Amino acid sequence: MAATLPPPRLLPNGDSAVTVEFSRTIDDAANERVLALDKTLLATPIEGISETIPTYRSLLVHYDPGKIGFDALCEKLLPIAGRPLPPSTKARRWRIPVAYGGEHGIDLEDVAKALNTTPDDIVARHAGGDYRVAMIGFTPGWSYLSGLDKSLHMSRRQNPRLLTPAGTISIGGIQAGIQCLAAPSGWHLLGRTPVRTYQLHRNPTFLTEPGDRVTFFAIDHKTFEEQDRAAEAGEIIAERVDA
Amino acid sequence: MSRLIVASIGPASSVQDGGRYGAQRYGLTVSGAMDRLALAAANTLVGNEPLAAAVEIGPFGATFTAKDGAVRLAIAGAPRNADVAGRPVAMETSVTLKDGETLTLGFARGGAFTYLAIEGAIKGELVFGSLAVNARAGLGSPYPRPLQAGDELTVDAASGAPELRIEMPKPVSGPIRVVLGPQDDEFDDANKALFLDSEWKISATSDRMGYRLEGPAIKHLHGHNIVSDGTVNGSIQVPGNGAPIALMMDRGTSGGYPKIATVITADIGRLAQTSAGTAFRFKAVPMAEAQEEARKFQQLIRTLPDRLRSSDTVELNIEALSDANVAGYAVSAMDAGTWQVTAEP
């Protein structure tokens, strides 16, 4: 292994943030470097950095220009970002129940038709996947997953929906997602989970972290209703299976 | 304790403070005042921390009534007519409402947001260090939604301190300054020039999430999809239709459109207060200049207490008054409804 990795691009976001970009495309290796840099900056903070936001292929670093200037910050970030990856630590793993199809997954049949197969087959391929939380963004708890089966890759909808339900499990392009709050979406809706990846007065407020592993399993709609009530009352519902 | 009753209020009015930082990595946006300097001026007038929670009042009128005791207030931001029981109240001054008295605020005359700060600040339950309302996520205190008629704020009884005015620096005019990037390389030189050399207007379908810009269509070099990455206050993204959107305080924390430029911190409040339909331009500045302006802006907010004056010494600022009148009752940047960013996450 090389002593250092190729340097990232440092892209200014105005006067108070810089994007440390490792790749222009979705790439698990780049995402690992993003998460490694994020971890390093959390463990050994650079004076002036106020917040870091990991995304698929870059780390957005917010800083206070009253404490550190752009050039000085970039000089400090570059060598850290070029370090070889530390040995990977064991990821947390979640099993997430999903009520597929019907009112909870209104695009399941259309997706099956578009891919010349049956809804059951789509469910099997989606639930059979081993996913990784690449980033969380857009709205609270919205977890973007890498690892979608290649046979399920398909373009997003031509017309995004203005509102899709809380808990929506969907696919878009080469990505899969767990959506927490009701929100606009152009992805294909396969089902819903009772699991809240974000719930204000629960400990923890946010369930998923970038780097976590996720698998799905099917539940019937009656179980969904029961678990949805329990989740509303503060239960986590998702099973943690790494321990 | 006194109470301040929201007797009437228009849409797009909510409790806001310096914002909610630290949970953007979980998709929780920052919220907070659209015009930070105006928030700080109002708070400073009543002796609060500059970025304490206050009422951000949208372009429409509002009335507030003191109950169970006197309440000391201050207003700053988008100019509007204001009075207490028929006595005019100037912008950028403090005023005390006696028990039962009502502060009446008219429509914004130019700009959109006026800040009503209350001595002792608004009380509530901090979530991630902030009371700021984020309606989409159901966050904010004392009400996790925009304010409505009938809402009540529990506030400190007025201290009886003498009323003050604040002598603000002459407003910065000229273009809204930006730093190019982070994805300016997704646009060719002609389209970057088109962005920087054209006149823009803010669409009426704008809100706290983003200001949609009307002007020429900006074309991308490689299409309008990039891999979603982080956004900041003032990111100017260009979606597929080529009409840029300046992301504001309730922005999504990530987005998948190329961002041609970013509004400098010192000018975000100015952009927020630009009325819909008013022509303006952007100007690219070097990073060093943007950071110097950001430091000056921080310094200005820190030193606002030095600008307080006794309100006995009020002299009519004819220039400011005529400026405000020239703006007239401009259509505001705020739509009565809320538009949704229709982009997929």
CB distance B344–A186 less than 8 Å? yes
CB distance B344–A184 less than 8 Å? yes
CB distance A141–B253 less than 8 Å? no
Give the gap in angstroms from C-alpha A27 to the nearest C-alpha of chain B.
10
Partner residue facing B127 (CB), from A26, A162, A200: A200
Question: Any alpha helices (H) in chain A, and if so which ranges?
Answer: 28-43, 70-81, 108-114, 119-127, 221-232
Indicate the average pLDDT of chain A: 93
SS3 A152: helix
Q: What is the mean pLDDT of residues A212-241?
A: 96
A33 within 8 A of A5, measured Cβ to Cβ: yes
* pLDDT tens profile B248-290: 999 999 988 899 999 999 999 999 999 988 999 999 999 999 9
CB distance B137–A56 less than 8 Å? no
Distance CA A26, CA B10 (A): 44
The pLDDT value recorded for residue B103 is 98
* pLDDT tens profile B87-145: 999 999 999 999 999 999 999 998 999 999 999 999 999 999 999 999 988 899 999 99
B298 within 8 A of A67, measured Cβ to Cβ: no
The amino acid at A210 = P
**Which of B115, B136, B113 lies closest to B29, judged by CA?**
B136
Chains A, B: CB contacts within 8 A come to 168
- What is the β-pairing status of strands A188-192 and A168-172? antiparallel
* pLDDT tens profile A59-99: 999 999 999 999 999 999 999 998 888 777 788 999 999 99
CB distance B254–A51 less than 8 Å? no
Within an 8 Å CB–CB cutoff, is residue A63 touching chain B?
A: no
Chain B residues 78-117 with a CB less than 8 Å from chain A: none
Choose the most confident range, by mean pLDDT, from A122-126, A200-204, B125-129, B132-136: A122-126
Which residues 6+ apart lie within 8 Å of A239 measured at CB? A94, A95
Q: Look up residue B13 and give its DSSP letter.
A: -
Q: State the first-to-last Cα distance of chain B, in angstroms, to the nearest integer.
A: 45
Query: A21: part of which helix (H) or strand (E)?
Result: strand A17-21
The amino acid at B238 = V
Which residues 6+ apart lie within 8 Å of B217 measured at CB? B241, B242, B243
- What is the β-pairing status of strands B229-230 and B254-255? antiparallel
CB distance A136–B26 less than 8 Å? yes
Domains of chain B: 2-166 (no CATH), 176-291 (2.40.100.10)
Domains of chain A: 9-81 (3.30.1360.40), 93-240 (2.40.100.10)
Which residues 6+ apart lie within 8 Å of A157 measured at CB? A186, A187, A188, B344
| pLDDT above 90: residue A206 | yes
Tell me the two tokens of residue B340.
Answer: 């949704």
Distance CA A59, CA B33 (A): 26
Enumerate the residues of chain B whose CB falls inside 8 A of the CB of residue A179: 345
Distance CA A41, CA B335 (A): 41
Partner residue facing A137 (CB), from B253, B293, B294: B253
Mutate one of A15, A107, A142, A189 to test the B interface: name it (highest B CB count within 10 A).
A15
CB distance A51–B21 less than 8 Å? yes
The pLDDT value recorded for residue A28 is 86
The pLDDT value recorded for residue A26 is 84
